[in-house]
Structure formats: C-alpha cells, structure tokens
C-alpha cells in the first residue's frame, strides 16, 4: 500500500513527470490521499477538478487544450477527439470555434458520462487516430461528426467547403464516410455535399445559387475553367452563365482562403474582362439583405450580355 504523502503541490506535479492534468487514481498511486486531493481542489485551492476523477494540478482557468486533454484522459485508452475540436487541431480555421463539450469517440463497450463537459460517443467504427501530438479522428470523420449534430446549414457548408478547398480530403472521401456511418443526422451534410459536387465552394456561393433559382435565368456553372480561343487558361469565375458569357463574382476576403486568394480574384476579373466577358460582382452580405436588388441586377446584366456577340471563350465544368 503506498504511503500517504502531503507534498507541496509542485512536488506532486514533478513526481508525475510534470504533467498538468492527471487522474485521481494516479495521485493515489504515488501516495496522495483522496481527502488531500479533494481539499486541494476546493474553491480557491491550488488544484482544479475538471471532470470526474480528473484533476488539473494548478488553479489557473482551464484552457480549451486543458479540456481536450482532460476529455481524452477521462475517455480512456483508444479514445479520439472528433468534431470541431479535432478540425481546429488539424488546422482548419473557417469553421465555427469549438465551445461546449469536447466530442470524443470511445469503444462501444465503454461507458462514460461527461458531466456536460465531454460528449462521449460510443462507436463500432472507432477510427485510427491521425498521426500527431493529439489523438484525433481523421478530417473526413471529424467534419461529418460535427455536421451530423449541427442544424446550421451555413456552418456545415463552411466546414465541409474548407476541408475540401484545403485539399485535406475530397468530396468523395466525405461521401464514403457519410455512407459508412449512421443515417442519423445525415440529411444536411448530404445536401451540402451535393452542393460541393455542383462546384459551390462557400456559403456565399450557395446564397448566390438560391438567388439564381429565383431569377428564372438558365442554370449556370459554378467555378468552371475558362479558356480563350487558343485553349489558354483565363480564369475560374464563381458563377458562369455560358450562353451569354456572363461571370458573377462574390467579392469578400471572408470567403477566400487568404488575402492573396482575394487578390487573385481581382486579377481573374481583369483577365475575363480582357476577353470580352461581362463581370458582375456582389458582396456576400448583400446576397442576404438585398435579395430583390441582386436578382434584378443579375437579370439586367444577363440581358446586357445577350445583346453583344458572345466572346470566344470556352467553359470547362469543374
């Protein structure tokens, strides 16, 4: 039986290899009585209790990383972080900021109650964690684990569009993961994946597609490659009405990956105009707050484009 110890809190942490978050059972194993642990976790004490049986060996406000680490320790060996926390740790930045319970996947035979701070989901399809410092679900699984539990179409669209645009997984990877999992909560991510397959890359472009449907104009292409009469690349417009060679660009840094990407938007507009293409541009916020105005403008631009001879450019669908 280990001897009881009442070392200074910093000495206890040193005895545990400097780890900031540990199980109460580990403290007992080095001789720290449960009553001592409870006393040190009192309000104003030197330690904090993060989850049942999990202690932070200082009294600073727990960071999100603290909560993630506590969730993994609590969930046990083989558990993996998924959802928004996994996506953020994978380097995604345009999806919603993680908050609330940390979503972890655990084996089906294990039971955990997260006390509102961990969402412990039992699964028969426990993935191999991606290589790295953290035990994380692969990107496709993490994105869809979030999407299945969300009712916000824009957030799901932004998340799925980012992982595809960043090249971290393909739409086919996401479709395969969606089919392999439960059908529960799959309707919204399935709709968004259909949009991605059509070439819609952002929330703003999806808003634009809804306005096109209201306009009564022919169905456009989304993100096609434009080539000049010699087969040379010109640009990739957001929305393209091929019959009249009208391009519609959605202008905002928010919906591009970087300032450099936004600058390329301006460059491609100039390239299209040099080929005789009429280019309409709109700010994303107007797509929601000035729908009638945007639809009228789109119809006018289409009619204007139809009046002149069509430029000799070819659109290759994405």
If you average pLDDT over residues 62-81, what whole number do you get? Answer: 95
**pTM, to two decimals:** 0.68
Could you tell me if 83 and 159 are in contact, meaning their C-beta atoms sit under 8 angstroms apart?
no
Please, which pLDDT band fits residue 10 given cuts at 50, 70 and 90? low
Per the document, the length of the chain is: 318
What pLDDT, on the 0 to 100 scale, is given for residue 157?
Answer: 85
Per the prediction, the chain carries an average pLDDT of: 87
238-262: pLDDT as tens digits: 899 999 999 998 875 444 444 455 5
Helices vs strands, H then E, count in the chain: 13, 13
Backbone dihedral region for residue 76 (phi beyond 0: left; psi -120 to 50: alpha; all else: beta):
left
- Burial class for 9, CB neighbours closer than 10 Å (0-12, 13-18, 19+): middle
Please, which pLDDT band fits residue 116 given cuts at 50, 70 and 90? confident
| Residue 96 token pair | 């919603």
307-312 CB contacts, 8 Å cutoff, 24+ apart: 308/276, 310/243, 310/244, 310/245, 311/245, 311/275, 311/276, 311/277, 312/228, 312/229, 312/275
135-159: pLDDT as tens digits: 999 999 999 999 999 999 889 988 9
Ordered by where they begin, the domains of the chain are 9-56 (no CATH), 75-197 (no CATH), 203-316 (3.40.960.10)
């Amino acid at each position: 039986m280990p001897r009881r110890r009442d070392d200074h809190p910093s000495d206890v942490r040193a005895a545990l290899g400097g780890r900031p978050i540990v199980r109460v059972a580990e403290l007992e194993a080095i001789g720290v009585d449960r009553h001592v642990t409870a006393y040190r976790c009192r309000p104003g004490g030197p330690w904090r209790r993060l989850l049942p049986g999990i202690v932070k060996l200082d009294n600073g406000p727990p960071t999100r990383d603290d909560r993630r680490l506590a969730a993994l320790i609590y969930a046990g060996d083989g558990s993996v972080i998924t959802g928004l926390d996994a996506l953020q740790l994978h380097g995604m930045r345009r999806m919603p900021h993680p908050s609330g319970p940390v979503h972890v996947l655990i084996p089906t035979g294990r039971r955990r109650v997260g006390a509102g701070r961990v969402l412990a989901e039992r699964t028969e399809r426990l993935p191999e964690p991606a290589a790295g410092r953290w035990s994380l679900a692969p990107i496709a699984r993490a994105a869809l684990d979030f999407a299945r539990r969300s009712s916000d179409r824009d957030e799901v669209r932004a998340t799925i569009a980012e992982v595809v645009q960043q090249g971290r997984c393909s739409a086919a990877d996401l479709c395969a993961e969606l089919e392999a999992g439960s059908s529960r909560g799959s309707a919204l991510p399935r709709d968004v994946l259909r949009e991605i397959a059509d070439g819609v890359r952002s929330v703003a472009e999806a808003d634009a597609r809804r306005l096109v449907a209201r306009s009564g104009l022919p169905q456009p292409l989304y993100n096609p490659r434009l080539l000049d009469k010699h087969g040379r690349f010109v640009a990739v417009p957001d929305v393209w009405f091929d019959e009249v060679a009208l391009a519609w660009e959605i202008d905002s840094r928010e919906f591009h990956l970087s300032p450099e990407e936004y600058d390329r938007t301006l460059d491609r507009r100039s390239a299209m105009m040099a080929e005789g293409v009429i280019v309409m541009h709109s700010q994303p916020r107007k797509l929601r707050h000035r729908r009638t105005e945007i639809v009228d403008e789109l119809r006018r631009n289409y009619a204007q484009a139809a009046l002149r001879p069509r430029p000799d450019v070819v659109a290759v669908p994405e």
